[in-house]
Amino acid sequence: MTRFHTLEVADWRQFGSVQIEFHPRATIITGANGTGKTTLLGILSQHFGWATAFIGTLRIDRRGARRYFSGFTGDVGSGTVGVGSLTYDDGHVAALQAPTEGASFRIAINGSRTVPGVYITSHRPVY
């Protein structure tokens, strides 16, 4: 039975750099509001049939053009960019990719493994 081993996210949304090493039996993620708990669980939830849609940040340039950014710091160009990795207990590493722009978007887990489990949504409504 495959399990999560390590989740790493860097330079995306509220994360400069975060690494979570999962305990084989249970891992508790705590923190203040707005620190990224739901963001991390949204990435993991895809393994259980729950695809979380993230919301981009609207920016209006000097000419009035509207663009939605997906949370990167600095100039990353267009397309998709790696935001981290997910390592499974068998040593397999899946790359986490996010689009640089989009009003609503999902994180791609390239090379994901099947992990048994169930996802229970939080108290937050679906946007």
What gap in Å lies between CA 35 and CA 37, rounded to an integer? 6
Tens of each residue's pLDDT in the chain, 127 residues: 899 999 999 988 888 899 999 999 999 999 999 888 988 998 999 998 888 888 888 878 788 887 777 776 555 666 888 999 999 999 999 999 988 888 888 899 999 999 988 877 766 665 5
User: pTM higher than 0.85 for the full model?
Assistant: no
Going by DSSP bridges, is the β-strand pair 80-88/93-99 parallel, antiparallel, or unpaired? antiparallel
- Domain ranges for the chain, please list them: 4-110
Cβ neighbour number for residue 37 with a 10 Å cutoff: 14
